[in-house]
Structure 1
């Protein structure tokens, strides 16, 4: 038997098969009475919104699930749909318990398609797409921040090297050594997949690699002093801790003790069963005052890394003689 378009047409247009296509696309359906505010939705839409399927709902009922930051915007957009010419689309967040979802509502404006005062449209769960977009924006922001920091670091290292050398040849040699050390430190902040430097297995080795580019006389023999117990750091925590130390050192080089010739940095650590405490203490730099501006990207990055990845807390003491940063992290997280 030869299959033709004519023989396939009934199968193509069967309602149950069209429903399968809608379900496969993740589309949920709604209709809205523009006079009474009553909403009707298919089962998938009720599930998407976390509403019992037997419940009669209005737009105001659904508004209770919309994220507070989006609620007024969404209400205004829906009220304005009849003034919109052609198709419209609006993305917003909803809260189902503690779970956040992104929804895209789409329909036809300007009274087009209204049947007996009822408008029609769809809801799409676009959470995955929004999370991917947020991830790309976060990565772009972090990359921009890193590039600016690296340029500042290169300028600061050049200044440090000029103070500790007397000839252009010596300066070129030492600057090359510092930039090479900075490259090794950067590898710890952004390692290749499955690759972690052997030196990062111990906390002291990790700090040696990270802080070597900033010491006038080589790691721990000059103005940078480190006193830490023999402690192993796990692979995943190595990257996070390296990023934190790298950020603190960058800020010190730009604004703190490492920005001047006589500035000193002490890094110490004490370990107990319930917490590992790392103290970052700067002395001899410019007079310190607590920032009045909201935390910048780097500070937020450190906060997120300490509280999230290391299961700990970070505090700052803005003493006039120098900044003191205290990191309290979980021993179990540090070993991971």
Structure 2
């Protein structure tokens, strides 16, 4: 392909190769009769396949993520009956890493030469990871909104049984919702808010648990006993999210869901670790959950390991649920 002019360009093989490399495009060809697939240098590197000749679709299939394999096989088998361009996104295993690949070509034997079809591979790992992050954020937001509605309903019931008049109930509920708003700001700070200011762990827990305190004026069914531990601005949001999730579950199903229930939160410090023990008592009978882990539990587990360098474990004695939070002291103080 060429045209005349003061800066005439010729699209020969060398220049096409330069353009393909610049765009990160890997080339493949597929012999529809022998099932052999020829890969260029970039495609070999992308897949981690052996060099020195064509490979078969079955050989390449061994690198496709098991969860995507059947879908990919069916999609490729269907391409010859398709009309126009196609695009198939799937995961491959490359050593210990997982990559997202986009395979693109023309269906319906368009462009087939001597029983050989042609197409490209693109590494779309970064785009897919960004999409997964957005989906996770959307799921997290949906989960929190549902929790807030459940909490508002539960706090209304708490206020109703702890007050004698509608005026008292309105005042009590307003105070609890105001406290909940303060706690929620810690879970998701307002844009532009200073986030690097450290806080006392005891103060942080008191703010987060204030909406769920005593059913009667002057009483408190929540006891917080922690030594002086500073929580850095980076860790505040994560720890607040974890405590908020535990409190939400407690007021929906656990000790804080009934008038006689109580919560005891204690903390101990070690050389490299901070341990918080969350103990519920006086609530409905509890049993260890069965079946699939809920979104909230996954969120807590991921936050504890990913951001706080620790873990969370649960025990289910008849007296009430006990959660043990182990956190890296260095991560907590960041």
Query: Could you tell me which of 257, 260, 268 is aligned with 1:259?
Result: 257
Equivalent in the alignment of 1:203: 201
Equivalent in the alignment of 2:55: 57
CA distance in 1, matches of 2:279, 2:29: 63
1:44 positional shift:
1.7
Equivalent in the alignment of 1:230: 228
SS at match of 2:5: helix
Q: 1:162 to 1:136 in 2, by over 3 A?
A: same
Q: With structure 1 as the length reference, what TM-score do the two structures score?
A: 0.91
CA distance in 2, matches of 1:58, 1:193: 55
Q: 1:129 to 1:20 in 2, by over 3 A?
A: same
CA distance in 1, matches of 2:196, 2:25: 48
Equivalent in the alignment of 1:124: 122
1:216 positional shift:
2.2
1:77 positional shift:
2.3
Alpha-carbon deviations, 1:63-106, whole Å to 9, x = none? 22211221232223223322333322211001221221100111
1:207 positional shift:
0.2
SS at match of 1:11: coil
Matches within 5 A, 1:111-190: 111-190=109-188
1:244 equivalent to 2:235? Answer no
1:131 positional shift:
1.2
Equivalent in the alignment of 1:275: 273
Alpha-carbon deviations, 1:6-64, whole Å to 9, x = none? 31684053443333333333222110111222222222222222235545422222222
Alpha-carbon deviations, 1:180-206, whole Å to 9, x = none? 1111111111113562385x6111011
SS at match of 1:322: coil
CA distance in 2, matches of 1:325, 1:98: 33
CA distance in 1, matches of 2:58, 2:271: 52
Higher deviation after alignment, 80-89 or 270-279 = 80-89
SS at match of 2:244: helix
Equivalent in the alignment of 1:31: 29
Higher deviation after alignment, 58-67 or 299-308 = 58-67
Q: 1:197 to 1:109 in 2, by over 3 A?
A: closer
CA distance in 2, matches of 1:6, 1:190: 60
Q: 1:116 to 1:266 in 2, by over 3 A?
A: same
Matches within 5 A, 1:74-93: 74-93=72-91
1:168 positional shift:
2.1
Cα contact 2:79–2:86 (8 A) shared by 1: yes
Equivalent in the alignment of 2:306: 308
CA distance in 2, matches of 1:208, 1:154: 19
Higher deviation after alignment, 213-222 or 32-41 = 213-222
Give structure 1 stretches of 5+ with no counterpart. none
CA distance in 1, matches of 2:176, 2:193: 26
Q: Aligned residue pairs: how many? A: 331
Q: Give the CA RMSD over aligned residues.
A: 2.2
Q: 1:9 to 1:53 in 2, by over 3 A?
A: farther
Cα contact 1:211–1:219 (8 A) shared by 2: no
1:231 positional shift:
0.7
Cα contact 1:160–1:216 (8 A) shared by 2: no
Higher deviation after alignment, 283-292 or 47-56 = 47-56
Equivalent in the alignment of 1:325: 323
Higher deviation after alignment, 212-221 or 244-253 = 212-221
CA distance in 1, matches of 2:216, 2:65: 53
Q: 1:221 to 1:275 in 2, by over 3 A?
A: farther
Cα contact 2:196–2:232 (8 A) shared by 1: no
CA distance in 2, matches of 1:149, 1:8: 67
CA distance in 1, matches of 2:286, 2:110: 64
